[in-house]
Chains A and B, each alone.
Chain A
Amino acid sequence: GAVVSQHPSRVICKSGTSVKIECRSLDFQATTMFWYRQFPKKSLMLMATSNEGSKATYEQGVEKDKFLINHASLTLSTLTVTSAHPEDSSFYICSARDYRTGGIHTQYFGPGTRLTVL
């Protein structure tokens, strides 16, 4: 089946620094990717929808200047957490839609990135 990778899987950074998380679709093209955030023992909350070649669409309450999303190619979307603070510590998961097969259920999740801000 289709594979989505995320890098890094785990990152620890100091408060005030920026962290970039990559999401790649390995064997299919993804014109749309989604970024979710998950706190411990909680559900996945959609942060933004990333569209190749255009600006991301952010959900209400998500700071677009803090969570920069770039979708420069059909296989890569990046999420940059700028000036990270301890409250940004979370599990970030991306997903990608496979447009080859179409349909609502062709969405694949990456393995997630655990961010810890000290």
Chain B
Amino acid sequence: AQKITQTQPGMFVQEKEAVTLDCTYDTSDPSYGLFWYKQPSSGEMIFLIYQGSYDQQNATEGRYSLNFQKARKSANLVISASQLGDSAMYFCAIGSSGSARQLTFGSGTQLTVLP
């Protein structure tokens, strides 16, 4: 079984500042992937970034970076230079390397960027 824990139900950040959204995970799979998705009020799930369990380097995608600490089982998302359009719900998810490869999601963090 896999589990994702997001302990921050809500976060506020000033525009242009950086913010870190926390995510810890638990899995018995030796190979897995960690994902971050953004869900604006429209409901669509927007893929942000992916980190494989065997990747040596932390993943980066533009203003998004994933702080992967395997020993601590954490996969925090760092958003640099926050923009008003970043206000949304953010979900961390884990997927196994098994044949089904479905995702298990955390409870989410509502990020609000203040002008």
A and B assemble together: yes
Known: A44-B91, A104-B95, A105-B35. A112 touches B43 (CB 8 A): yes
Are A44 and B105 in contact (CB-based, < 8 A)? Answer: yes
Which of B37, B102, B104, B107 has most chain A Cβ within 10 Å? B102
Contacts of A104 in B (CB 8 A): 32-33, 50, 52, 95-97, 101
Number of A-B contacts (CB under 8 A): 58
- CB of A32 within 8 A of chain B? yes
Q: How large is the interface on B (under 10, 10 to 19, 20 to 34, 35 or more residues)?
A: 20 to 34
What is the bound-complex CA distance between A46 and B104, given in angstroms? 8
Are A43 and B45 in contact (CB-based, < 8 A)? Answer: no
Contacts of B71 in A (CB 8 A): none
Contacts of B106 in A (CB 8 A): 43
Known: A42-B107, A44-B91, A104-B95. A91 touches B43 (CB 8 A): yes
Contacts of B35 in A (CB 8 A): 105
For chain B, what secondary structure do more than half of its interface residues adopt (helix, strand, loop), or is it mixed? strand
Which of chain A's residues 2-37 have a Cβ closer than 8 Å to chain B?
32, 34
Partner of B100 from the list A32, A108, A109, A112 (CB cut-off 8 Å) is A32
Nearest-neighbour CB distance to chain B for A54, whole angstroms, equals 12
Question: Chain A, 79-109, contact with B by CB distance < 8 Å: what is the 0/1 string?
Answer: 0000000000001010101000000110111
A57-B100, A104-B101 known; 10 new pairs, CB 8 Å cut-off, are: A32-B100, A32-B101, A43-B91, A44-B103, A46-B102, A46-B104, A104-B50, A104-B96, A107-B95, A107-B101
30 contacts between A and B (CB under 8 A): A34-B102, A41-B110, A42-B107, A42-B108, A43-B91, A44-B45, A44-B91, A44-B103, A44-B105, A46-B102, A46-B103, A49-B102, A91-B43, A93-B43, A93-B45, A95-B45, A104-B50, A104-B52, A104-B95, A104-B97, A104-B101, A105-B47, A105-B50, A105-B95, A107-B101, A107-B103, A108-B47, A112-B43, A112-B44, A114-B43
